[in-house]
Structure 1
Amino acid sequence: MELERTLTSAVAIKDPSDGVAERQQVITSLCGICDAGCGVNVYLENGMIHHIEPLPDHPRGSCCPRGMRAREIVYSKDRLLYPMQRVGPKGTDTFERISWDEAMDTIVSRLRRVADRWGPEAICMYTGRGNFERSLLDMFGPAGTRESSASSLFFPFGSPNTTGVGAICYVAHGKIAPQATFGAYTLDMFNDVDQAELIVVWGANPATDSPPTMLKRIKAAQRRGAQVVVIDHRRSETAKATRARWVGIRPGTDGALALSMIHVLIQEGLYDREFVEKWTIGFDQLRDYVQQFSPEEAERITWVPAQTIRELARAIASAQGAAQVMYTGLEYTNSGVQNIRATLILWALAGQLDVPGGMVFKMPGTDFRPNRTLVEPPTHVDPVGKDKYPLYHFFRNEAHAMELPRAILDGDPYPIRAMFIGGSSIITAYPQPDLWRRCFERLDFLVVVDRFLTADALYADVVLPATTMFEIESYMTYGPHIQLRRRVIEPLGEARNDYLIRAELACRLGYGDIYPQTEEEMLEFALEGTGVTVEMLRENPTGVSRPVPEMVYRKWEHGLLRRDGRPGFETPSGKFEITSNLLAAYGYDPLPVYTEPVEGPVAAPDLAKTYPLVFNSGARVQSDFRSQHHNIPGLLKLRPEPLVTLNPRDAVARGIEDGDEVFVVSPRGRVPFRARVTEDIMPGVVEVNMGGGSPIAAEAWRQANVNELTDPDNRDPISGFPVYKALLCDVVKVQG
């Protein structure tokens, strides 16, 4: 039976705007269209969501276009509402409806069958951004990690192979680079734009990030006189919204720019000498290394004018507070971890670490931390990928998803024969979708849990329907603040909370005592001993906050960064490590070395003759969330087709005009897009929309999976992240 027919017997999903409202109700809760958890009031009419509005005084009091269209998403005709099992060939939407008992019985029996034949390690759990819900992260996050998107669900069953979107997102920026440099996560820090004199946006785009509250803070800082600089290959939405100084840069060369600015600080004596002498190791080696990155040489590498490099370095060093607004944009190159380390070192040398208006460490005890289950992984066998990316495993305690094809297709280091995928679409998120289709065809068993049919689900044996965040009870934390995620409506059809699906599966596999089995039990477990109760949260729908400790700056001088309370940093040396002992221990260069993109115009000049444009993908928009929402009419109106953005100079050379149908071609394939021609991108560089490839997307998006152009073997050697932002391509006009 085709999937479309499995929904005909579903609950009738009415348009909430039909008819006259019998009763309006307002419920204060949290948006759940992405993982930001913005505070909202949800307006119901006749028991159905009508619209939502942001809570103005909430820590994340905003509402993006996706949130504003929550009604369309929740009541979409494409929602999965019942468990289904495959009745036709893999790769097709041929399913039949089954009961939850049948689905769970099937899953348990098939997993046991795989474990009996191949060992429990042959089962792998994968979780994506769709599962970034606080209770899932806290109740199922693996032990040995501060925070992880992966799940411990199959640890008690005997499999160490849990992994997730952390294999391609955030870990380099949020964990490896800062920990290797000063022994803290970016979760332990904040950018003090509220007091900054200079704000440098680098590897981020607050205008389209989730939530967009940082843009509001930047604009407020501007109104009191702060200057804003945006370093990006595009004049981004943030650059335009703030009228910032735009510094264009060749994708993948950010590390060279940071090293060149360090060169300027040292050459002109602008660095913090006292900090260097008392609190760092490796400065002499760095001073020698950056000699090769003069502004003139860096201009050749980065395409940033030498005078601009000097001006920006001086501005950062002289500002009374320079805030670095950075996210994951620097991760996806051949030296992603080291590029990020170079920027962190630049800020510290410039005297902008843990000072008002700079890059500030939070005070200990600031964040509200709920209880976690902290289940340890089995140790009888190493997870897949630990051999190749040991430092990633050190921080994540999990397998590396980029190495799964090696295990599935080649049995190296051992076979993976079953997968459980929650809230993700690997085929649209990872390089080379055909590689992953082959993987899913090879598996003995695949389960997918989602709200909508994904590209991965077309290969699943069992598909389970998940609720939206408006149909569950949970919680969300924001620094010292915690708020109850109140259920707004009952689950549609037979959809279930992802948390409850995993908890029941654990119970059926024989270890349900590890995980609370109801939402109420989960809330009580999370809050036990914290001083906050479920009753308090119910009585305070906008949440409660703990007192924040009084701020102390330069915390390394006061013993506030080390667990033993001694002055210094939580690093092997106790100092800020320009040369990282951690990186050296794992065989990596301890200096923040720059690596030229291996598929770029400098390192691959012959290839660049055929593919002369620098490819970049991954810029975020607010009309979708990765591969989600390309089936939602109200959001499609904002971006009906996937775009490739190129400069007029490159367009004229190819006979391309704005709005033309084109192919983006790389050494690995060609994908159709619509051309957007604008001066808002550097010559020689293109930006290609990500997220295409969903089977339920509008046709243009369905055909435009950008990862047909990317390379699964081109990675950062430390994090294992694929290169999405420094490849080669060309753009050709569709003829006729």
Structure 2
Amino acid sequence: MKKISRRKFLQATAATAALASAAAQSPSGAILERSNRISANHWGAFYVNVRGGRMVGVTPYVKDAYPTPMLEAMADRVYAQNRIQYPMVRASYLRDGPGADPTLRGAEPFVRVSWREAFDLVAKELNRVKKEFGPPSIFAGSYGWYDAGQINNPPVLLQRMLRLHGGFVGGTGDYSTAAGQVIMPHVVGTLEVYEQQTAWPVILDNTQLIVLWGADPLLNCQIGWAPADHYAYGAIEELKKRRGRIEVVSIDPRVTDTARYLDARWIAPRPGTDTALMLGIAHALYSEKRHDQAFLDKYTVGFARFAEYLTGKSDGTPKTPEWAANISGVEASVIRNLARQMAAKRTMLMGGWAIQRQHHGEQAHWMLVTLAAMLGQIGLPGGGFGLSYHYDSGGNLTASAPGLPGITSGAASGGAAWLSKDANAIPVARVADMLLNPGQPFDFNGKRQTYPDIKLVYWAGGNPFVHHQDRNRLIQAWQKPQTVIVQDPFWTPTAKFADIVLPASTTFERDDIAQVGSYSRVRIVAMKKAVEPLYESRSDFEIFAELSRRLGFGPKFTEGRDTLGWVRFVYGEARKQAAQLKLPMPDFDTFWNGTGVVEFPIPGESRSFVRYGDFRKDPILNALGTPSGKIEIYSKTIEGFKYDDCPPHPTWLEPAERLGSEKARQYPLHLSSPHPKYRLHSQLNNTWIRRWYEVHEREPVWINPVDAEARGIRNGDVVRLFNERGQTLAGAVVTDRVRRGVVVMAEGAWYDPAEPGKVGALCKHGDVNVLTIDRGTSKLAQGNIAHTALVQLEKFGGELPEVTAFDPPKSAERG
């Protein structure tokens, strides 16, 4: 593929103005030159530029043709005004000990202590809680997009320490794909949402119709769980050139950056009605005999049972395009025409993860697979479905490479007997439920377990006071534990709600190593320390190693290695794999002291990879991991669970809130909260990059011109969004890129209460999760439903409160 310049591509994606603004506002003011300090993080690989011992910026890796503009903010991340400088303890906690007035969390000043005193406090409290209440009273939270390195991985290190200490309660799944992760193994036998998809060259050569269903690759492919390689951007550029042959349809309540760049046909359903819309398409295919019955007979099970529901035989309601139109707001003629077009062309359904982050979200992914099966193109070049084209792994070319291991959380140690009653791992999005309901039963994927009684929360490398739903409910839940420990480089909203705060260093202040490409694994990159740790911050490895020493198992935790020793070790393990694969890798010293990069070849067959191609060729020899070995449109396993909110086949289930419901009379706008364009969730919100998009220092909210006019709102006004769960300010962006009745406000803006610590306080800055629902998708997956929320919006008429989200909390003298 021919490459284009970074500037030309960003112009095409409407980012030029932001980049120009950033250049003018960059605090360093320095002309950046490439240095030999290679490093990487979730945004990709790059060179770190240092002058006089100070980091002044980064230069994108020479082979990254499409670096994200967010790299501009990396230096400011190190020197952010709200770095945690020293170990700190909440004032009354330091005075009164565990359980000291938890209602003061988030509002009370902190007192500086020494590292020695902080380590003593943490070690003593871990031992006390374990002795008095047992391992299931300790929660190792730490969910989040922490450091991308293989060694300084806060959740893994925390779990490693706590396993050696005797045990803990953790989390399972993630906020991004929780419903998809649970439903897809029942349907196709794998998680699927993180699997390699049909390669982009195959798409470009064979696909005739691409349906982006809630997917925005241009926005989300900027980052990866492992450092992003940005391969998808070249593919999307090539797709634009082939728009005469390949049609693109975007099904989304907003015109995404990808849809705009590709001039896609926009179909805008009401949020939360994707399953109904898919059922309408399926009914059109079935009633007009455009479905592939031969494929369904050979490669799937249960379609006949599903067809009874689809036609209304089982419930008296045929799922016709007219029925779907009444729910989704998409005209029946549009639904029929799309069904006919899908059947007539080689069609790839590129589903986004957003459609499963809603009430009954399991149904959307299940129905998308069912729709693809009815088209009969699964396993054909350029046809079928894919659930991660908007992620760094989706459609990328996979290199022939070893896997780079990392430090592990370790094998389960003694103290595991308590697992018999309480859950040792809860679905990650159910943390508030757990804290509020100790001893209460809950269902999850066929099992019935009991919430443990948590006395101590230890969170490292995450920010639940931004990413978790229903902020005010979380504040109430957060008052239940006796002790909360937070370990982070920054005074995040979560850190402000802690009792003990430990200052961790940033990526650029420690050594590490990473593998670029979440699944493509195209290169191994050294993450060399660029500057010395600021203030009294220490690396996560150093913090947990010292705590382990004080708890009596230091040698078991470190295995006799320091940070660089672990980097050397995991590189050596990868090198052993490479030798077996007959791939050259230099010795560690040559790698570390040289370029710091090892590239791996991409075999020719990678360009022709077709997801489920082998299964289609021989469904017996290449059976799927389901009980039947086939795609399960009807699941007898799920039928056996007897859940009232997750039937055994794809089903339209009324969500808790949606447009067209009775509740919409009171809160007539549906709130969509997609990923932000210039952040990784909440990361980078505390840097100057926020000037690119904020309105009066508030998070922007998109509103349709008709909805804005009805409320007397103009572009640039500060508005108040509210419902019975909370309220927040935001800056109005009036645009026809969002359908009527929908407002769009990205997740990730830091929580900033006008009355710190108070339940129900106005968020001054724009934390969308003060408005969202904290409820599971269903008993099956218990994922989050961030996209299911109704709100009202009005112009804010009072004096604008000052934004203090990025200010450190007040300090107090030792009493």
Instruction: Classify the TM-score, shorter chain.
Output: 0.7 to 0.9
8 Å Cα contact 1:688/1:706 also seen in 2:
yes
Q: TM-score, normalised by structure 2?
A: 0.77
Cα offset, 1:168, TM superposition: 2.5
In structure 2, what is the equivalent of residue 27 of structure 1?
36
Alignment partners' CA distance in 1, 2:797 and 2:269: 32
8 Å Cα contact 2:253/2:268 also seen in 1:
yes
Range that drifts further, 572-581 or 584-593 = 584-593
AA at the equivalent of 1:101: R
Task: Evaluate the alpha carbon distance shift between residue 643 and residue 520 of structure 1 in structure 2; reply closer, same or farther with a 3 A threshold.
Answer: same
Offset from partner CA, 1:393-419 (integer Å, 9 cap, x none): xxxx72234443344344324420101
State the secondary structure of the residue aligned to 2:358: coil
The counterpart of 2:235, out of the listed 210, 214, 217, is 217
In structure 2, what is the equivalent of residue 125 of structure 1?
140
Task: Evaluate the alpha carbon distance shift between residue 139 and residue 406 of structure 1 in structure 2; reply closer, same or farther with a 3 A threshold.
Answer: closer
8 Å Cα contact 2:280/2:321 also seen in 1:
yes
Alignment partners' CA distance in 1, 2:409 and 2:396: 24
Pair 1:159-2:159 in alignment: no
In structure 2, what is the equivalent of residue 171 of structure 1?
178
AA at the equivalent of 1:491: P
1:394-473 correspondence runs (5 A): 398-412=425-439, 413-472=451-510, 473=512
Offset from partner CA, 1:12-32 (integer Å, 9 cap, x none): xxx9848x99x9661353443
Task: Evaluate the alpha carbon distance shift between residue 203 and residue 682 of structure 1 in structure 2; reply closer, same or farther with a 3 A threshold.
Answer: same
8 Å Cα contact 2:33/2:59 also seen in 1:
no
1:53-202 correspondence runs (5 A): 53-58=59-64, 61-88=65-92, 90-92=105-107, 94-131=109-146, 133-135=148-150, 151-163=159-171, 166-173=173-180, 175-185=181-191, 186-196=193-203, 197=207, 198-202=209-213
1:258-269 correspondence runs (5 A): 258-269=278-289
Cα offset, 1:223, TM superposition: 0.7
Cα offset, 1:119, TM superposition: 1.0
Offset from partner CA, 1:237-286 (integer Å, 9 cap, x none): 22222211111011111112222222233333333444322221111122
In structure 2, what is the equivalent of residue 523 of structure 1?
567
Cα offset, 1:722, TM superposition: 3.0
Percent sequence identity over matched residues? 25
Alignment partners' CA distance in 2, 1:515 and 1:290: 58
Pair 1:651-2:660 in alignment: no
AA at the equivalent of 2:735: T
Pair 1:380-2:417 in alignment: yes
The counterpart of 1:336, out of the listed 344, 361, 372, is 361
In structure 1, what is the equivalent of residue 727 of structure 2?
670
Offset from partner CA, 1:603-659 (integer Å, 9 cap, x none): x41x22212222222x22233333343332343243232222221222222222222
Pair 1:323-2:313 in alignment: no
Task: Evaluate the alpha carbon distance shift between residue 713 and residue 385 of structure 1 in structure 2; reply closer, same or farther with a 3 A threshold.
Answer: farther
AA at the equivalent of 2:543: I
State the secondary structure of the residue aligned to 1:184: coil
Pair 1:613-2:669 in alignment: yes
AA at the equivalent of 2:56: H
Structure 1, unmatched stretches of 5+, are 1-14, 143-149, 387-396
Alignment partners' CA distance in 1, 2:495 and 2:638: 39
Offset from partner CA, 1:667-714 (integer Å, 9 cap, x none): 3233222222221111111223433344599x9974433222223246
The counterpart of 1:635, out of the listed 690, 711, 730, is 690
8 Å Cα contact 2:73/2:684 also seen in 1:
no
8 Å Cα contact 2:85/2:503 also seen in 1:
yes
8 Å Cα contact 2:161/2:557 also seen in 1:
no
8 Å Cα contact 1:281/1:575 also seen in 2:
yes
Offset from partner CA, 1:208-237 (integer Å, 9 cap, x none): 224173344222112133322211101122
State the secondary structure of the residue aligned to 2:605: coil
Range that drifts further, 404-413 or 325-334 = 404-413
8 Å Cα contact 1:692/1:701 also seen in 2:
no
Task: Evaluate the alpha carbon distance shift between residue 560 and residue 500 of structure 1 in structure 2; reply closer, same or farther with a 3 A threshold.
Answer: farther
The counterpart of 2:513, out of the listed 474, 486, 502, is 474
Task: Evaluate the alpha carbon distance shift between residue 511 and residue 316 of structure 1 in structure 2; reply closer, same or farther with a 3 A threshold.
Answer: farther
Task: Evaluate the alpha carbon distance shift between residue 499 and residue 93 of structure 1 in structure 2; reply closer, same or farther with a 3 A threshold.
Answer: farther
Task: Evaluate the alpha carbon distance shift between residue 201 and residue 433 of structure 1 in structure 2; reply closer, same or farther with a 3 A threshold.
Answer: same
The counterpart of 2:627, out of the listed 568, 572, 589, is 572
Cα offset, 1:368, TM superposition: 4.2
AA at the equivalent of 1:287: A
8 Å Cα contact 1:480/1:546 also seen in 2:
no
Cα offset, 1:379, TM superposition: 4.0
In structure 2, what is the equivalent of residue 6 of structure 1?
none
Alignment partners' CA distance in 2, 1:141 and 1:260: 45
State the secondary structure of the residue aligned to 2:281: helix
8 Å Cα contact 2:196/2:611 also seen in 1:
no
Alignment partners' CA distance in 2, 1:259 and 1:641: 39
1:506-585 correspondence runs (5 A): 506-512=548-554, 513=556, 517-527=561-571, 528=573, 529-531=576-578, 534-535=588-589, 537-538=591-592, 539=594, 541-545=596-600, 548=603, 550=605, 558=614, 566-585=621-640
AA at the equivalent of 1:121: P
State the secondary structure of the residue aligned to 2:82: coil
Pair 1:281-2:281 in alignment: no
In structure 1, what is the equivalent of residue 49 of structure 2?
43
Alignment partners' CA distance in 1, 2:542 and 2:651: 46
State the secondary structure of the residue aligned to 2:459: strand
State the secondary structure of the residue aligned to 2:502: strand
AA at the equivalent of 2:796: V
Cα offset, 1:71, TM superposition: 1.5
AA at the equivalent of 1:316: M
8 Å Cα contact 2:379/2:615 also seen in 1:
no
Task: Evaluate the alpha carbon distance shift between residue 271 and residue 489 of structure 1 in structure 2; reply closer, same or farther with a 3 A threshold.
Answer: farther
8 Å Cα contact 1:25/1:44 also seen in 2:
no
Cα offset, 1:346, TM superposition: 1.9
In structure 2, what is the equivalent of residue 357 of structure 1?
382
Offset from partner CA, 1:276-335 (integer Å, 9 cap, x none): 222211111222222222212111111122222233333333333x33433321122111
AA at the equivalent of 2:344: S
AA at the equivalent of 1:584: E
8 Å Cα contact 2:516/2:524 also seen in 1:
yes
8 Å Cα contact 2:728/2:764 also seen in 1:
no
Offset from partner CA, 1:489-546 (integer Å, 9 cap, x none): 3322332333443344344434442555422333344342422564564355333326
Task: Evaluate the alpha carbon distance shift between residue 714 and residue 573 of structure 1 in structure 2; reply closer, same or farther with a 3 A threshold.
Answer: closer
Q: Determine which structure has greater relative contact order: mean sequence separation of CA pairs < 8 Å that are 6+ residues apart, divided by chain length.
A: 2
AA at the equivalent of 1:734: F
Alignment partners' CA distance in 2, 1:362 and 1:184: 19
AA at the equivalent of 1:594: W
Structure 2, unmatched stretches of 5+, are 1-25, 93-103, 224-229, 312-317, 387-394, 440-450, 579-584, 757-761, 799-815
8 Å Cα contact 1:66/1:622 also seen in 2:
no
The counterpart of 1:52, out of the listed 58, 66, 80, is 58
In structure 1, what is the equivalent of residue 391 of structure 2?
none
Offset from partner CA, 1:179-225 (integer Å, 9 cap, x none): 22111233222253433233222222223224173344222112133
The counterpart of 2:749, out of the listed 692, 704, 713, is 692
The counterpart of 1:369, out of the listed 394, 403, 406, is 403
Cα offset, 1:44, TM superposition: 2.6
Alignment partners' CA distance in 1, 2:154 and 2:490: 24
C-alpha RMSD over aligned residues: 3.5
In structure 2, what is the equivalent of residue 312 of structure 1?
338
8 Å Cα contact 2:88/2:113 also seen in 1:
yes
State the secondary structure of the residue aligned to 1:69: helix
Offset from partner CA, 1:455-481 (integer Å, 9 cap, x none): 221232221222222223121242232
8 Å Cα contact 1:561/1:570 also seen in 2:
no
